[in-house]
Amino acid sequence: MGFNFDPKQYIRTVPDWPEKGVQFRDITPLLEHPLGFRQTMDQMVYPFMEEGIDLVVGIDARGFIFGAAMAYQLGCGFVPVRKKGKLPYNSISVSYELEYGTAEVEMHVDAIKPGQKVLIVDDLIATGGTMLAAYELIKQMDANVVAACAVIDLPDLGGSDKLRAAGLEVFALCEYSGH
């Protein structure tokens, strides 16, 4: 198995969606392709196999797909970070800035134990808002974040720089310039 696989060959760009000027990076063709999805997961897991990860935190909703698969391959637990109001048990939440307003994400209060090694996973890093919010939730639990991991990074939007400035290691399989 080679690790020179480029997931871009399976990522579709949809111009002007959800609004004019945005180049949406659609991962559904990647998920539909058995070998492409497998190679993506192998490449995402490989750097963390020796890290002793206790939990993978996946961000609502596409982060659940990659995060759960990574947790399975790493032999560890999976914790969902959901949009506000979606979890059935006692939770903690964090607000974060959107382009036009704010949003909140939450996690169950008993999801992470102090000192656990955690990996944050999403499909894409854009402005970094949701990953930074997940990082804040994890810090409230006194756990250690190993890295922020995604399939795609959009470095021109500044999210990966914000994550690094917060002290996080950032790992992404591929980058796209622009929005």
Among residues 12, 51, 99, 136, which one is catalytic? 99
1-15, 80-94, 112-126, 153-167: segment of lowest average pLDDT:
1-15
Query: According to the model, what pLDDT value does residue 81 have?
Result: 98
- 124 lies in some domain: yes
Query: According to the model, what pLDDT value does residue 99 have?
Result: 67
- 74 lies in some domain: yes
- 37 lies in some domain: no
Query: According to the model, what pLDDT value does residue 101 have?
Result: 81
Res 179 pLDDT > 90: no
Res 3 pLDDT > 60: no
How many angstroms separate the CA atoms of 41 and 17, rounded?
A: 26
* Length in residues, the chain: 179
Does residue 99 have an active-site annotation? yes
Res 140 pLDDT > 60: yes
pLDDT in tens, 49-100: 999 999 999 999 999 999 999 999 999 999 999 999 999 999 999 999 876 7
Residue 87's CATH number: 3.40.50.2020
Does residue 25 have an active-site annotation? no
Among residues 25, 32, 38, 62, which one is catalytic? 62
pLDDT confidence of 44, banded at 50, 70, 90? very high
Res 1 pLDDT > 50: no
- 16 lies in some domain: no
pTM for this predicted structure = 0.95
Q: How many domains does the chain divide into? A: 1
63 CB burial (10 A radius; 0-12, 13-18, 19+): buried
First to last CA, the chain: 32
Among 116, 167, 147, 137, smallest CA distance to 60 is for 137
Range of the domain at 92: 51-175
- 89 lies in some domain: yes
- 140 lies in some domain: yes
Query: According to the model, what pLDDT value does residue 5 have?
Result: 81
Angle ∠(113,116,120) on CA atoms, nearest 5: 105
Q: Mean pLDDT over residues 140-160, rounded?
A: 97
pLDDT confidence of 125, banded at 50, 70, 90? very high
pLDDT confidence of 28, banded at 50, 70, 90? very high
